[in-house]
Structure 1
Amino acid sequence: MEQISDLIRDSKLETRFLPHCGVETVHTFRESDPASGQRLVIRSEHWQRQRRIGGGGFGSVWLERRVKGGRSAATAAQDGAVRAVKQIDMDTRLGSIDYNRELEAIAKFSHSRYEHCFVKSFGWYEGPGQLFIAMEYLEIGDLFTYSYQKPALPETEAKDITYQILDGLDMMHENGFAHRDLKPGNILIKSSPPAKWWVKLADFGITKRIEEGHGPSTTKGTPRYFAPEMWGFIEPGSAYAIDIWALGEILFEMLTKKPAFANTGLLARYQTQEQFPVAKLRDAGVSQQGIDFLLSLMCLHPNDRITASSALSNVWIQPLIPQNSITVIQGKPEIPYQITTVTEEFASWDTELSVEVPKTVVHDLPSSTTTPQPENGTQGKASEAQRKETLFPSGISRPQSIHEQVEAFDPSPTEFATWHKEGVSLYNQNQIPEAEIMFRKALQWRAKVLGNDHRDTLLSIQWLGTSLFKLGRYEEAEAMFRQALEGREKVLGNDHPDTLVSTHSLGASLFQVGRYEEAEAMFRKALQGQEKVLGSDHRDRLVSIQWLGASLFKLGRYEEAEAVFRQALEGREKVLGNDHPDTLGSTHSLGAYLFQVGRYEEAEAMFRQALEGQKKVLGHDHRDTVGSTHWLGASLLKLGRYEEAEAILQRALEGQEKVLGHDHRDTVGFTHWLGASLLELGRYEEAEAILQRALEGQEKVLGHDHRDTRSTREYLDLALARRRS
């Protein structure tokens, strides 16, 4: 490492690694012991690696447990029995990286006066080609993971979180630091409702001490939270204004569950027309004071944005601040800086989701018009225009973004990383065709410069496969997942967490193309490795169990399938709780299985249980809630309880039309079921009208010869015959 400051040097841990015992680290401390009157004692701590809890572009984050030894009683109690350790792989092929930035910020803000706002560090140490940072472990995870499948936060809760983030930013800016990668994934949760909210800022991988006279600085971060000046739309201004914009985007998402600007095109329109999406805030019931405050954070021009210290005195925030707790500093100097390159961040960490476990590759059994299928993504094939756009027949296709303004000539590895990260950002915004383009672009250059077997190249291959899977292009996805798996087995080994992700993903793509025996083999292989590496109750392993059950069901091995579905449900109830969306998905899936084998009373019970939780957790209009409503109605229909069935199926159809539209294949399937219930009730004219509507939709979406289309035609003929008689 380069020359380091005293602040960084003093926080370095004296360390050795024990061989032949997994991954065990020993730290030695020299300290006084007033209790025994000893001037100097030497103590040691043994920390053993437990499991991987997060990762990013330059490394991983691991949960470690103290298994032996300890420091003085006061210090040991402060450190706790577990910790999170960020492992940064210092790959020299990626160029010179200044790790001092992160270490200086972490050391500075781990002081006791700041610990209520920042994740505390216990020190850092080095290994061969690696840098390790030991930090406190917050098991709830980060704000992104917490809110991913929850409804928008009430304004009072969003305000409380915003105040705490502002408090931390004010301390950073006071001390001359800008975070510059503020996002929900870097806001960790110490406590949440029903307790009081307590969040801390984390990941100082991009933090930069702002000093006048140092010339241009490099900016990096996560594209979704980039301020307009970082895209080149606006002249740069205060270095701290980047953090303020990012806070505004985070607040907007907390209040609405939607981004303020979903893509750079909308942001560019804001720059030209200066029209902020206030309507989304009003639709969410946000107060005028809250709207005004958010607008002050997201002013187009950086020097017009409110500062952190001024924001703390805003009328919307002020009631949360304890009396005499802060001094508002007016007229804080704002030091301009120059934006040059956009580069990738250090590995951020997340105690709940690995960045390499995209949700689309691990979805459970949702609703469908016939047998429920284990995939919630887009059905069918992408449009011909999309396919042509992403094949790159004569070069690299580029979406409308900052890269339209930059000539792609001999890009550096950090630029590859930025393209890959922009792909992830686009994917998370459900802009899948655009994400595919960015992953192909990153992959082409990573393969050329780093080689096909570099872990970054393999990461882009995995994400490209994920995008293709989401687009319903399962055969192409299979090829990508197989390539990623073979490369990761070679580079990382069969049991590495990333390898196991690719193993599961390949199984999912094989399932989707009907190769159920091969899919079963992949899921069993993934499960074996996951139990060894992650433990039997890890949530990723429970996902693979769920898919294994679906494969067994498709193979007609019903008793085995039921046992596996029940294993997934029991595991999720234990690990995640009864009302977690994944648990509710397993409840629905078990109900779907029971329905398919004709055990309708048991199926009804499962669907009612799933529906009750989904309405509470996801809301009445969520796709999964609507799906469970439909299948509950279908179960009641099979049980001969036609009036109950008709009411519930009507409600499901209305919800499906609202969520997916009138012409979606699931919507026309729901229409068929409602028509069937009306037919059983003897309301033949109504049944005829509904079934005619279903038939027209199925002929349009599925074709004239699809089995569901033929079934609806038979029901329609029956309704016509009964009406005439």
Structure 2
Amino acid sequence: MSPERWRRAEAIFGAAVERPPAERPAFVERACGEDPHLRRQVDELLAADGEAGGFLSQPVIEELKSPGGGDHPAGLGGAATLGPYRLVRKLGEGGMSTVYLAVRADRELRRRVALKCLRTTAAGAEERRRLERERQILASLDHPSIARLYDAGTTAGGLPYFVMEYIEGEAITAYCDRHRLSIGERLDLFRQVCAAVRYAHQNLIVHRDIKPSNILVGASGTPKLLDFGIAKWLNPELTSSQLLMTVPWRRFLTPEYASPEQIQGQPVTTTSDVYSLGVLLFELLAGSRPFRFDPAAPREIERRILEEEPPLASAALAVHPEREAIARARRSEPQKLRRQLAGDLDLIVAKALRKEPRRRYGSAEELAEDLRRYQSGLPVTARKPTFLYRSARFLARNRLAVAVAVAFVTLLTAAAAGLGWLSLQLTRQRDQAIAERQHARTLAKFFQGILEYTNPQLASGAMIPARELVDRAAAELRHLDDDPEVQAEVMNSLGRTYYSLGLYRESVAMHEAALARRQTIYGSGHLAVSSSLLNLGMARLGMGDLAGAEAAMRRTIVIRRAIFPGDHVTTAAALRALAVVLAVRGPADEAEAVANEALAMFRRLRDEEHADVTNTLYDLGNALYLRGKLDQAEATYRRSLERRRASLGPGHLLIATNLLRLGNVLIDLDDLEGAERALTEARAIMSARLARDHLFRLRLDIVLARLDLARGDAASARDLLERDLELARSRLGSDHYIVAKLMLTLGRAHLVLGTPEAAAEPLERALAIYRQVLHHGDARTTSALVALGRCQLELGRLDEARATLRKAQELLLSKEPPRADLLDEVRKALGRVPGSGEGIRSTSMSSSGHDSRVT
């Protein structure tokens, strides 16, 4: 075969191995066209690749066959054993070897393992040497992020095998996307991979095939580096110019992750793995690889890898057609994610991807260290130390001065937003303050430039200037890079300000950054870390990431209970925060229990009239309402409202939110006049204090629409909700639980108006969102099922209606006690479905009466 045809076969092979095994034959057939010789060569490469390793990440192909003969382990059947290992099923196979899921079942130990062995006595000396080399490499490695070697031996027929740790997980890129890991969380995971690669390098082993499918992450969240099938030892006695030659192995490379020297067949050093790590980092951050290749164009592959500079990660994201989905998978937005990647992260990735090995990071450790410096807010080595860069770090080193200036800016921000609680609590020694007084004056003048960008209406309390001012302050955070402790404090304050403005995504990003700084500074168990977690949880709740919010609150409680084993106000505050999240996500009974636990602890630590007790009473009311305990919820809301009026004075936002909740429960209790009074006052306060698209005002509109429905004015309810729906989608995203509330209430309005065809889509969408974000069996999910069942009934879709309503009934009856109001509605609706089997007489749902079910 000519060199040109060989390169083409290699290119097709490289693209094929990145596809699932089931898709490879069709792909190879298309790529090879009418060239049977080329097809045969590619098939041989694929077979050799399977034999070289990489099976731990393969899916189950087939169960073990029935018993057979010889030394071929696959023929031994389901009861086959090799030493103490019982083979369970085949995980994968290549040209000469097979990997099985096996169980060690003897008196010493019982565990699942992956067992790799040659499949036939026809295996030649080279295949045996290759398997032995892989076994020796694994035997020399003992690291938590590298699949471990457990055992080795030979079959009765003399075939070698070895036993490895069985990894049950998914590729690191898929894991990060499925769990919607933020950039900071992805960097944490990637640094663990770097640690594994560093360890291999320290043991004179170069992996040579680092890519997502060779790094699995399981339920524990620990990445595992796999497949040392083409790894090689570095001979410490050789000079750098005599290191690993890759020509014999070039056919096994994955071009998208291979370094230029690997493509050229030049000597390989540890910096070749650094290049592959750079490609992986690019993909984790930007959602794509630097290069994508046509497998049928080998010359183009070589040209691009050897000559074309890879794009910056931020630039690749900006032009990617799926940038919205990529950003969502990172809990971000395209523009914000691009800004986050631009700058130091772009430069770090670019340095790892240099064409010349000497210009890359010298080791995986250096790459990981630069990422650690980035996450800690320190200067990175990938950035040229320009005068401006050094000057920014000089400013950052003046801790008190910058903190005072930023405090000044953030306090003005709070004033502009009408939220006076924002401040930075600075406690420093008097002599330090005197020594840095001049720096404070200089930096105050510097930050005065920020204020010049604000709207002249700043003093009026308008929200837009406040947003501009906070964004400007956030943009200046880089000047605190050399002092991550103060930087984290400022980030925390800005995150809370973003939250107060209803800018939840920005708040999440700021609190994630603060959390990363504090974890680096203090470790994972510090009180400051728990504070960042609590703030992050509240921001995630606002953004609609209910699972992420709950996880953050539970981590906060664990940290604080470890620090303060008994009663403590910080522990009570964390319990209260968890109750807030559970009152939104469910389960309702746990929300009530946690709220009561927080309330009891606060009462042991505080006076009865303290704000902590009052606020927790309000949260308990939310949990009681979610459980359907309407009378208790009303009484609790009234108690917290009375105390807030006495302590806060008129016009406070907490009074408005309390009135909103009270009005909501009064609708369910048919006290429509009382509900109107409460909601009118709440609307007056919120209109004066909050932007039109603020989360609280959207919630208020939902309750006002419920009041309109209760009064029989479904048209007004529909108009209000349709106006808000697009606003909510653009502001909060299509999958937010507030959007579900809007759509459910809108669907009910259409049912009352006699337009079930218009109700179907919003009701179906509301149900889908609730099923996605709420706890299983939540009353709001059941309520959406009931409304959808009624809609299907009105549309004549009787089979669907029967199934939907029975599902709702099943969920209700699984609770103890079931919600009587919802159960009654379900039974009435089922009574109208022919053949439903319900013995309860139907009572038609009134087209004018109000439907006040929980939303």
- TM-score tier (shorter): 0.3 to 0.5
Q: State which structure, 1 or 2, has the greater radius of gyration over its C-alpha atoms.
A: 2
Structure number with the bigger relative contact order (C-alpha 8 A, sep ≥ 6) is 1
TM-score with structure 2 length normalisation?
0.38
TM-score with structure 1 length normalisation?
0.44
Q: Which has the higher helix share?
A: 2
Q: Which has the higher strand share?
A: 1
